[in-house]
A and B are shown apart, each in its own frame.
Chain A
Amino acid sequence: MRAGLATTHIVIHIGERAERPDLVTRDPKEVFAWLFDEHARPIRSYLAGRVGADVADDLVAETFLIALRRRSTYDPEQATVRSWLYGIATNLLRNHVRREERGFRLTAKAGAAEPTVENHDTLVADRVDAAARMRTLSAAMAKLTEQDRDVLLLTSWAGLEPAEVAEALGIPASTVRSRLHRLRTRLQTLLMNSAKDAAR
């Protein structure tokens, strides 16, 4: 009930400024209730994909507490509030790098241990191929640098545009675009080669 009221209230008050709200002069309760209701769930999903659901819940709480305490450093001219929040959340993942890499390795390994499906139905075969690609991708993700993973997953899982990823990570947008192109090309090639090997 409180969340609903807060959301309605803030829409009336900040309207078109929702993407870049003024966090300094606005009533923090009003603005942060709205920010939480608007962004906590997708941020939690992004974090859960990277470090698991149990850790993600705590990191969501920490993300918004840090945002509250550092609200004076948020510059609406420099970033959307969404990219700023994802930047904080991504920074918090630095304390969980080993957990994240272990998760990707386990996914790759667990998937590889699955029995081969002896079925020629096209749909099932497609699913098996997709699962194999996911395992290959997971193994590759475990070997990437943290910042390469950030760029890929902020794009793929969080749905941020390259310019927003740049704002979140504090790097130039041109760097994000070139890095994204290089990484996606490399991973796509890896998946295609993996599929060819499986077909032999």
Chain B
Amino acid sequence: MKELDEAFAMLHRDARAAPADLADARQRLMDEIDGVTPRRTRHRWVIPVAAAVGAIALAATIVVVRTAPSPDQELPLASAPEVLNKAADITDVGAVDKPIKPGQYRYIAEHRWTTYNNVIGPEKKERYPYLQEELLERWIPADPGGIRQVRRTRLGEPKYLVDVPADVAARLRNNQVPDSDRRGKCQKAGAPVNSGDFDCDQLDRADFYAALPQDPRMLYKQLDALAAQYGAQKAPGLFKIGIDALTRGLMPARVRAQWYRALALIPGVRVIERRTTVDGRSGIALGLDDDREHQELVIDLVTGESIGTRTTAGPQPSNPLVKPGTEIGASTITTSVVSSIGAKS
């Protein structure tokens, strides 16, 4: 087939042999490894970040997810639906799930900051909300009926979100949510749960994701129904459940792409700014406000992965002791496949 090979050799030969300027691409790679703020690319349509948009982030009291420092920061995409649809496109074409074989476990490590209430006093009326950094690890078996493990480990000291009188501090220290490590089977919500088993909701089960429709509009309806089950408000509730599902770590890449497209249909979601998570990954933060809280989802637009979340108290926080704008939660997740329960690699 000499003729065919010759024709292939000639086809687009000039483009293939054109001098390559790869210095920029190499530098971007090295910057990424070094954790340097990504350099601006040449080809995107850009919008400046409105200063007002960052106001809520600046009001946060605890820096969990740090903001990229560039004063003239620009975002590569103009709107949240565009970010989400771009992430969906990337996920569609580039993302693969590491296959999990029988006997193996999906290991999901969530490094998170979550708000707990420390309630003390003779009538349990003295409430002291605090933010706790912790590692939540889950080992989910390939067999849906198998034993799973959930381990919660505190990292660092609690950060109280209200003033704590000196005489109360010692009492609070002995009353924090302890570390835990449990194994058991996953039981459907509402079903009788044996001692030690987990009362799993839909988002904890692989069969839920497998049964989801592929069409984003149908998926949006499903998301709407799901939010209603959790008693959530309209758009913020949808966004919250949407983020929750992404961060459980069980959503296959195929579903994730369509899930992003469904999230793009939620009214009011907007681009906040570029963020770098504490584990060094950078992405675009999308947010949605309601009176009680401001939810953010950080998406890596290179891989299409959701790499973190962040929640700050809204103007009328659900916990009236917490000041508006206070950071009340954040998380970043990594997943892998391991050969035994309790193993990390």
Contact = CB atoms under 8 A, between A and B. Distances in A.
Interface of A: 3, 28-29, 32-33, 36-37, 40-41, 44-46, 48-50, 52-54, 56-58, 60-62, 64-66, 68-70, 72-73, 88, 91-92, 94-95, 103, 107, 130-131, 133-134, 136-138, 141, 152, 156-157, 170, 184, 187-188, 191-192, 195
Interface string B79-99: 000000000011011101010
A157 B191 CA distance: 58
14 contacts: A33-B30, A44-B20, A58-B41, A65-B28, A65-B302, A66-B94, A68-B32, A130-B10, A133-B7, A137-B7, A138-B11, A157-B16, A170-B96, A195-B3
Given A45-B17, A95-B89, A133 B22 contact: no
Nearest to B22: A40
Contacts of B11: 49, 107, 134, 137-138, 141
- Report whether over half of chain A's contact residues are helix, strand or loop; otherwise say mixed: helix
Contacts of A58: 25, 41-43
B15 A64 contact: no
Contact of A45 (B16, B33, B34, B336): B16
B6 A49 contact: no
Interface string B1-18: 101111111111101111
B168 interface: no
Contacts of A36: 22, 25-26, 29
Given A41-B20, A137-B8, A62 B302 contact: yes
A195 B6 CA distance: 14
A170 B18 CA distance: 30
Nearest to A192: B3
Contact of B22 (A41, A46, A52, A68): A41
A131 B16 CA distance: 17
A168 to B, nearest CB: 12
A69 B302 contact: yes
Contacts of A28: 33
A95 B93 contact: yes
Contacts of B16: 45-46, 48-49, 157
B61 to A, nearest CB: 30
B300 interface: yes
A88 B90 CA distance: 11
A191 B58 CA distance: 65
A92 B301 CA distance: 12
Nearest to A138: B11
Contacts of A170: 96
Given A49-B12, A184-B1, A69 B303 contact: yes
Given A60-B25, A65-B303, 10 more contacts: A29-B30, A29-B33, A49-B12, A52-B15, A65-B302, A73-B96, A107-B12, A133-B6, A156-B9, A195-B3
B25 A40 contact: yes
A40 B303 contact: no
B215 interface: no
B29 A68 contact: yes
B5 A156 contact: yes
